[in-house]
Copies of this chain bind each other. A is one copy, B any other.
Amino acid sequence: MGGLKVHGHPISPASRRVVLCLEEKALDYDFQFVDMAAGQHKQQQFLSLNPFGQVPAFQDGDLNLFESRAITEYIARAYADKGTPLIPSDVKKLGVALAWAEVESHTFDSAAAPLSFELVVKPILGMPIDEAVVAENLAKLEKVLDVYEARLTTSKYLGGDDFTLADLHHIPIVNNLMHTDKVKPLFDGRLHVSAWSKDILARPAWQKTLDKMKL
């Protein structure tokens, strides 16, 4: 029963988010490939791990979890003494980090995930890009990054002075977007956002994640 297992797919930003968290925590784990092209995530064996049929699912011994942002918070608390802290111990600092983690989960992701899908994933899958979706979400993302620029003028990381889950949760999608001609300039054109994105993408745990999650 023992050990940590991630059931996911290397192209999935949510799967990469969980692997990155485990790497930040310097924990050993097994990565179990879910063959989404073959519909494995909609079959009974996977549905017993996540009834919503989405990657990733996670196991820690007899505990089954799903939803990447819940898995990372579980890992950060269950393995608080390992690797990077990821969650402030002071409760007021925790509140601020939680608020910016919610910003990622709702406001940032709702613009950035469609851009990543259109501009990074669709070309890999040979699907046509929907330019209207791209235009709409570029405009939304610009507004989000304006708020991030102001925030990062007063604080090194989004969640506070230290790197936390609020930053970590961004990394897989920011990595994808920095490989696109249309979105990269939105980051590069904002002084503090640019420095922040370079800083978080350069983390050794992310480099290890990319090595393991090669497409």
Q: A residues near B, CB below 8 A?
A: 51-52, 60, 63, 65-67, 69-71, 73-74, 77-78, 91-92, 94-96, 98-99, 101-103, 105-107, 147, 150-151
Contacts and interface: CB of A to CB of B under 8 A. Distances in A.
A51 B147 contact: yes
A74 B150 CA distance: 24
Given A91-B74, A105-B105, A96 B65 contact: yes
B94 A77 contact: yes
Contact of A70 (B60, B95, B151): B95
Question: Does more than half of chain A's interface fall in helix, strand or loop, or is it mixed?
Answer: helix
A151 B51 contact: yes
Nearest to A63: B92
A144 B52 CA distance: 8
A82 to B, nearest CB: 13
A164 to B, nearest CB: 12
A89 to B, nearest CB: 11
Contacts of A147: 51-52
Contacts of A69: 102
B52 A99 contact: no
Contacts of A91: 74, 77-78
A150 B151 CA distance: 42
A135 to B, nearest CB: 21
- Find the residue from A51, A70, A73, A151 having the highest chain B CB count within 10 A: A70
Contacts of A74: 91-92, 94-95, 98
Contacts of A95: 60, 63, 65, 70-71, 73-74, 78
Contact of A51 (B71, B73, B96, B150): B150
